[in-house]
Every structure is written in structure tokens, then in C-alpha cells.
Amino acid sequence: MKQRLDIQHETEQTMRSLDGAERAEPAPYFYTRLMARMQQARPADAWDRLIALITRPSVAITALILVLGANGFMFVSQLNNSTELVETTRQQTFADEYQLGINTFYEYEKTEP
């Protein structure tokens, strides 16, 4: 029972200590300083730095030149391959026409009846 009275006494004492409490007021110019700090430049994260790097004109022009150069190189190499392919096809057609690649003793066409 004594313990219950102690708890009630502590509760009443705590409630009385809150009677004189007033609304907390911030220091003068608090909101001005808060807004200035919020608008202040925050440290850039990795994505912001990457975007800032990519959007630089010198980097963008260099990347564009590299892409166009690689595209041109691929185009020229495809032209060379196509002329080599045409030449190989001509040689193969000639070999097939005269049967130069056949090494057998059998005759495919009978010349005599």
C-alpha cells in the first residue's frame, strides 16, 4: 500500500512540475538562420557529380567524337569485309564451275554413251 502511495505522490509531483511549463520559443532569428542553412549548397552526391561531369561541353563533345569515330571505323571495316566476301564468292563460283575442288576418281558426268 505504501508503494502505491509513493507512486501516486510521484505522479502528482510530476504533474505539478508541468503546471509552470510554457510554450517553448526559439531564439531570435531562428527561422531566418534555418532557411539560410536549408538553402545552402549541400554536398553533392556521386550522381550529381557524374551528371555535372557529363554535361560539361568539353566532355560531351569528346564523347560525341569518340562515338562517331568508332562508328566510322566500323563502317569502313564492313566495307573492306564486303569486298573480300565478293572476291571469295567469285573464286568459289569459279572453282565450282570448273570443279577444281573435287579430288575423286569418279566421273560425275559420262561423256560417252
Give pLDDT tens digits for 37-93.
888 877 778 888 888 888 899 999 999 999 999 999 999 888 776 677 777 888 888
- Pull the grid cell for residue 20: 509552470
Q: Please tell me the predicted confidence (pLDDT) of residue 50.
A: 87
Secondary structure class of 42 (helix, strand, coil): coil
Residue 103 vs residue 6, higher pLDDT: 6
pLDDT, average across residues 91-109: 69
Sign of CA dihedral 43, 48, 54, 57: negative
Q: Please tell me the predicted confidence (pLDDT) of residue 61.
A: 94
Give pLDDT tens digits for 11-38.
888 888 888 788 888 888 998 998 888 8
Q: Could you give the CA distance from residue 52 to residue 77 in angstroms, rounded to a whole number?
A: 35
Minimal CA–CA distance to 91: which of 81, 101, 102? 101
Q: Could you give the CA distance from residue 36 to residue 26 in angstroms, rounded to a whole number?
A: 16
